[in-house]
């Protein structure tokens, strides 16, 4: 997949193949952005990159795989931006909000084809299913970012495991909302993110207050059990 840096350094340029792959990828995104995902044909993409139709399939196993590769790139970019932005911040509310807003920032021009990511959500066997085996690595990576965002917050051990996963799920929901959001600059989604984070933090503080903790215990148990079950990958 990647050249080792040694080779890259000596030849001082990507291999021919790598260059074509990038070209196809970029032309594809350009077309997706301009005409939308559906309206863009694999033949269009190939033509734009000046290769034969089949060449695209030499580098990407399917049309959706291009969007998937795009999203992987988003992930990397996001991780970098998050690390940079969170460096100085301590406040949980701010940290969480940053992570989510940054994600939206990166996706802002690509709502037209983001929907392709969700196409196989309901088909566990498909290699591109959001919840499937085939996307496990990406998913883990994404969850990691949220774990980092939670950072130094003091949380019960159990929540430390579940919350990042829950946030990842919430982030999926956010993207879905984002796709449907026709407000100027998707302001509504950004507002929703702020509300959500405030609510979450408020909920945390509330649950932590000495006054209600005893009453909350049994409820929390049920909730935890439910989430743990839902989060589990495989069950008998």
Partner DNA sequence: AAGTATATCTGAACATGTTCATTTTTCGCT
Partner DNA sequence: AGCGAAAAATGAACATGTTCAGATATACTT
- Judged by CB under 8 A, the residue of 100, 104, 114, 167 near a copy of itself is 114
Which partner, a copy of itself, DNA, none, binds residue 230 by CB below 5 to 8 Å per kind?
Answer: a copy of itself
Instruction: Give the closest residue to 204 by CA, choosing from 86, 79, 96.
Output: 96
- Judged by CB under 8 A, the residue of 39, 180, 185, 208 near a copy of itself is 180
* By the rule CB under 7 A, 69 interacts with DNA: no
When the beta carbons of 122 and 151 are compared against a copy of itself, the nearer one is 122
**CA-CA distance, 28 to 63, in Å (whole number)?**
9
**CA-CA distance, 156 to 152, in Å (whole number)?**
12
When the beta carbons of 52 and 230 are compared against DNA, the nearer one is 52
* By the rule CB under 8 A, 195 interacts with a copy of itself: yes
Residue spans of alpha helices (H) in 36-156: 42-48, 53-59, 63-86, 92-107, 111-114, 136-150
* By the rule CB under 7 A, 42 interacts with DNA: yes
When the beta carbons of 42 and 170 are compared against a copy of itself, the nearer one is 170
203-229: string of b/e by CB count within 10 Å (b at 16+)?
A: eeeeeeeeeeeeeeeeeeeeeeeebee
- Judged by CB under 8 A, the residue of 117, 149, 163, 167 near a copy of itself is 117
Output the smallest distance, CB 179 to a copy of itself, in A: 5
**CA-CA distance, 76 to 144, in Å (whole number)?**
12
- Three-state secondary-structure class, residue 82: helix
For 148-179, the DSSP string reads HHHTT----HHHHHHHHHHHHHHHHHHHHHHH
CB 55 within 8 A of CB 90: no
* By the rule CB under 7 A, 48 interacts with DNA: no
Which partner, DNA, a copy of itself, none, binds residue 202 by CB below 5 to 8 Å per kind?
Answer: a copy of itself
- Judged by CB under 7 A, the residue of 52, 156, 223, 230 near DNA is 52
- Judged by CB under 8 A, the residue of 109, 154, 157, 182 near a copy of itself is 182
**CA-CA distance, 207 to 216, in Å (whole number)?**
7
When the beta carbons of 30 and 225 are compared against a copy of itself, the nearer one is 225
**Which residues contribute to the site for DNA (CB under 7 A)?**
11, 15-18, 20-21, 38, 40-43, 46, 50-55, 57-58, 61-64
């Amino acid at each position: 997949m990647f050249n080792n840096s040694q080779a890259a350094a000596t030849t001082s340029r990507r291999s021919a193949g790598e260059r074509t792959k990038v070209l196809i990828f970029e032309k594809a995104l350009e077309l997706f952005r301009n005409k939308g995902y559906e309206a863009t044909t694999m033949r269009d993409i190939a033509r734009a990159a000046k290769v034969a139709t089949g060449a695209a399939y030499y580098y990407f196993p399917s049309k959706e795989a291009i969007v998937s590769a795009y999203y992987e790139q988003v992930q990397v970019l996001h991780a970098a931006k998050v690390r940079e932005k969170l460096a100085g911040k301590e406040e949980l509310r701010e940290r969480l909000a940053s992570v989510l807003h940054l994600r939206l920032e990166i996706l802002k021009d690509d709502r037209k084809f983001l929907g392709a990511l969700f196409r196989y959500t309901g088909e566990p066997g498909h290699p591109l299913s959001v919840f499937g085996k085939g996307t496990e690595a990406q998913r883990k990576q994404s969850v990691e970012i949220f774990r980092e965002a939670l950072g130094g917050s003091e949380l019960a051990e159990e929540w430390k495991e579940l919350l990042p996963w829950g946030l990842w799920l919430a982030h999926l929901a956010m993207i879905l909302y984002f796709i449907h959001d026709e407000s100027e600059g998707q302001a509504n989604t950004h507002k929703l993110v702020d509300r959500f984070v405030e609510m979450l933090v408020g909920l945390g503080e509330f649950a932590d207050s000495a006054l209600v903790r005893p009453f909350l215990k049994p409820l929390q148990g049920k909730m935890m059990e439910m989430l743990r079950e839902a989060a589990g990958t495989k069950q008998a």
